[in-house]
Amino acid sequence: MKCNAVVAHETGGPEVLKWEAVNVAPPSSGEALIRHTGVGLNFIDVYFRTGLYPSPTMPICPGMEGAGIVEAVGDNVDEVSVGDRVAYAGMPVGAYSQYRTIPSHRLIVIPEGISDETAAAMMLKGMTVEYLMDRTYKVSPGDTILLHAAAGGVGLIASQWAKARGATVIGTVGSREKAALAEAHGCDHTIIYTEENFVDRVKDITQGTGVPVVYDSVGKDTLLDSIECLNPRGILVNFGQSSGKLENFDLAALAKGSFYVTRPSLMTYTASRADLETSANTLFDLVKNNKVTIPINNRYELKDAAQAHSDLEGRRTTGTTVFTL
């Protein structure tokens, strides 16, 4: 069948994203055909578009998060049925399309009480927060944590998640408007990094002790200074690089506090069906119980993906962004 999709025939800036007709194959064994009702925008989509994360094939249809209706299934599919509302996050890429065929074991049935749009907005970011705060470093009552990009899509979910776990949240943001947004979603202390030195402020807030964990999706601009915010044997969790890749990192920098650094990914933490279901269900429960709300602050038609990428890279978005179809 044919449908429209966003396709890049080469790597580059937002302008390489084109809205064009594509062929969608019928589902083979272990696959499902879904009609998208919503698609999420994430910074990892930018990495694939620019070539920072190489695509196994070109042209590429970006996107790793979406929700929709199962239209057909192939043989040997028992996770979903035709007519189910489903959502997904992770590889393979290909979400920027009206329809797509996808391995059925990556699909999760959306429970009652959660809309398709919310599911499309939260699966990648929400399950990222789940593994970061429940498994990479288990946030516990009494912890004080440092969260960079606290007004972003992951950041606004992460602040609420950490508060639900009983922690105090220090968050960095780029403006007073973003500080207000982060505070409205559970951030206890905001640091405007364009006006303040975040290392000094963290030391002030923690009375010199530092924090046991830093969650950093910014990368080059924040990573080295983030180490200075850790208490002895603290862990720096780098899960993105929106400011660019840090070159020539010296492991000796970790010695003075016996610090840890890790670079986790959602794909590893949800590689098994059991881990995927656990992560998704934990997210669903927190959202249904109003412990976490999903702030959808930006909406674009899917054909306008190039503009959405430009706005995301220009830091003109806050919270989550959804493509409508």
252-266: per-residue pLDDT in tens?
889 999 999 999 999
CA distance 12 to 16: 6
CA distance 7 to 61: 5
Cα–Cα nearest to 229, from 124, 289, 323, 145? 145
Those residues whose C-beta lies under 8 Å from the C-beta of residue 314, and which sit 6 or more positions away, are none
Compute the average pLDDT of residues 238-242: 84
HSE-CB at 5 with a 13 A cutoff on CA atoms is 25
Interhelix angle 273-288/116-131, nearest 10 degrees = 110
173-205: per-residue pLDDT in tens?
999 999 999 999 999 999 999 999 999 999 999
In this prediction, residue 240 carries a pLDDT of: 83
Please give the domain boundaries of the chain with CATH numbers for all domains: 2-123+270-324 (3.90.180.10), 141-263 (3.40.50.720)
